[in-house]
Amino acid sequence: MTAIDTARTHRRLRPPSLWSAGAVAIALVVLAPILAVFWIALNPSENIWPHLVATTLPRYLSNTAILMVGVGILAAVVGTSTAWMVARYDFPARRWLEWLLLLPLAIPAYVGAYALVDFLEYAGPVQTALRGLFGWQSARDYWFPEIRSIGAAIIVLAAAMYPYVYLLARAAFREQSGAAEEVAQSLGAGAFARFWRVGLPLARPAIAAGVAIVMMESVNDFGTVDYFAVQTLTTGIFSVWLEGYNAGGAAQIATVVLVLVIVLVLLEKISRRRMRFFNLSTRHRPILRKRLRGRAAWGAFALCALPFAMGFILPAGVILRHALSNAEAWRDPELWRAGLHTLSVGGLAAGITVAGGIFLVYGVRLSGRKLPRLLLPVTTIGYAAPGAVLGVGILIPLAALDNGLADAVQALTGVDIGLVLTGSAFALVLAYSVRFFAIAQGAADAAMGRVSPNLALAARSLGRTEGQTLGAVYYPLMRASVASALLLVFVDCVKELPATLLLRPFNYDTLATRVHEQASLENLGDAAPAAMLVIGVGLLAVGLLARANR
């Protein structure tokens, strides 16, 4: 046996360190809800799968597919075209629009849905103005498109989520070399031909990644489709579980959602793997923007201003008008109680998630074992899993554990401790941590990758332990990334609706659930203050994102 084989044998026989075991434990906690969904679906107390297949599942599946494809195509067209315009051309207000196009990310899609209905409904300003202008007396006198429909849901979701495509496409267009553009132009290719044959193929992997994110977020949406009465797989989970009282059926629908999400992730990775482009020139020349004049300049301005107006100005304006005209709603103690719940639960979840992400990444780097390294990329699946799916995978096992714990304590001590886990915000914090763990893990992995290993080795040679090295060497160099991850996770926790609706304790509102409940009662005036607070928090994240992508 060689010395290398002997060292490998000793490494395998050596018990795992605290960091390695902790990394594996964190990864298993993140993966547990996903595995629980499959287990519950395969072992339901009452198998209604044949009934679902024969009745509602085809409708849920077809509506979800239409929604995903429609939102994906519309977001791809809007995000790619606006990214091309700001990257290739100079026109009025281009510098402002380059960043304003990101602002729809600050507004949750369900808030945009409430605002659109309020703006376009029969009693809204648009139809009221039409009746006043043409002298119509009632809805029988004119035709107006149905607002609460799957078409309107597609428009609202695309307006809220096209920045995912825009951000990645803009970066891809900006990184392309001017040489390819000049060669195409010298061969007589016009503006559209250069976009279609040169710019778009080179940016296609980035666009595909953005569209995959948009489609996964469309599957996750509940507030928009529920408000527009569109029955999707996500609304089906709520209906079967909360109205049909069948957790196994909800898990079976959740399994279908997970399969869809996994297929999307695999397709996105395959598309990026098959399409790789390299800059073969040793002198990379950036593309100079072409200055547009006259109608072309104002056409480009309109093309970029319209998505910003639809995705941010319209919903923010409608919500702000209601918030200012309903001043007494700001004094409602329930609003500030919901704000306190949001701040405490979101802040706690952000802290736990980022700490867990740092521990996992650092533990994998210290461990020489295969299992932690294999589990590291798999933990990102929580971000792709919809909140409703995680709700099923967390609440059902946690409720069983909670009841068993309460019964055991009562049998031993005679004291009824009640439901400690599901009766508190514990399940909510766990769901947030699993759902947004990929953000923290990605930030920690990228930040640690920028730290030279020699610094850590120097600290260890000076007698520092592994934990001391993390605190004295790594943390000061990755402090900015940690702060960014904390803010991004917190903002996503504030906006998360499906998991919050399923897992919150009784009579426990957050800002997101308050907005949803008040708007569902057609009381947008009372929903507006909470919505404005959610938008304000979202603007912080968008500002951070814009600063990081200058």
User: Has residue 174 been placed in a domain?
Assistant: no
- The three-state (H, E, C) secondary structure of 42-87, written as one string: HCCCCCCHHHHHHCCHHHHHHHHHHHHHHHHHHHHHHHHHHHHHHH
User: Has residue 121 been placed in a domain?
Assistant: no
Q: What is the CA radius of gyration of the chain?
A: 26
CA distance 244 to 396: 15
What phi and psi, each to the nearest 5 degrees, are found at residue 465? Answer: -75, 175
At residue 537, the pLDDT reads 87
User: Has residue 196 been placed in a domain?
Assistant: no
For CA atoms 33, 37, 39, 45, the dihedral sign is positive
Residue 400, classified by CB atoms within 10 Å of its CB into exposed (0-12), middle (13-18) or buried (19+), is exposed
Cα atoms found within 13 Å of the Cα of residue 228, Cβ hemisphere only: 31
Cα atoms found within 13 Å of the Cα of residue 53, Cβ hemisphere only: 6
At residue 186, the pLDDT reads 64
Walk along the chain (550 residues) and give the pLDDT tens digit of each residue. Answer: 454 454 455 445 455 677 778 888 888 888 888 888 888 888 887 778 888 888 888 999 999 999 999 999 999 999 999 998 998 889 999 889 988 998 998 899 999 999 999 998 888 898 889 888 888 888 888 888 888 899 999 999 999 999 999 988 888 888 776 666 666 666 666 666 677 777 777 778 888 888 888 998 898 889 999 999 899 999 999 888 888 788 888 888 988 888 888 887 777 677 666 555 545 444 556 677 788 888 989 999 999 999 999 999 999 999 999 999 888 889 889 999 999 999 999 999 999 999 999 988 888 888 767 777 777 777 877 777 888 888 888 988 888 888 888 888 888 888 878 778 888 889 999 999 999 988 888 888 888 888 878 888 888 888 888 888 888 888 888 888 888 888 888 988 999 999 999 889 888 999 999 999 998 888 888 899 999 999 988 888 788 777 766 6
User: Has residue 474 been placed in a domain?
Assistant: yes
Q: Give the domain CATH number at 527.
A: 1.10.3720.10
At residue 344, the pLDDT reads 93
Q: Name the nearest CA neighbour of 366 among 17, 124, 89.
A: 17
Question: Number of structural domains, the chain?
Answer: 1
Residue where the block lists tokens 């998505």: 307
CA distance 469 to 461: 10
At residue 139, the pLDDT reads 80
Structural domain of residue 407, as residue ranges? 16-45+326-550
User: Has residue 330 been placed in a domain?
Assistant: yes
At residue 375, the pLDDT reads 76
Tell me what the pLDDT averaged over the chain comes to.
84
Distances (CA, A) of 480 to 84, 475, 550: 31, 9, 16
Distances (CA, A) of 58 to 233, 242, 260: 10, 20, 14
Asked whether 307 and 82 are in contact (CB, 8 A), the reply is: yes
The per-type count for the chain, helices as H runs and strands as E runs, is 29, 2
Q: Name the nearest CA neighbour of 357 among 27, 33, 28, 34.
A: 27
Asked whether 262 and 378 are in contact (CB, 8 A), the reply is: no
Tokens describing residue 252: 């079976």
User: Has residue 146 been placed in a domain?
Assistant: no
At residue 10, the pLDDT reads 47
Task: Kindly give, in sequence order, each residue whose CB lies less than 8 Å from that of residue 449, ignoring residues fewer than 6 positions away.
Answer: none
User: Has residue 118 been placed in a domain?
Assistant: no
Asked whether 390 and 435 are in contact (CB, 8 A), the reply is: yes
Tokens describing residue 267: 């397709």
User: Has residue 462 been placed in a domain?
Assistant: yes
Q: Name the nearest CA neighbour of 350 among 234, 242, 488, 253.
A: 488
Asked whether 236 and 245 are in contact (CB, 8 A), the reply is: no
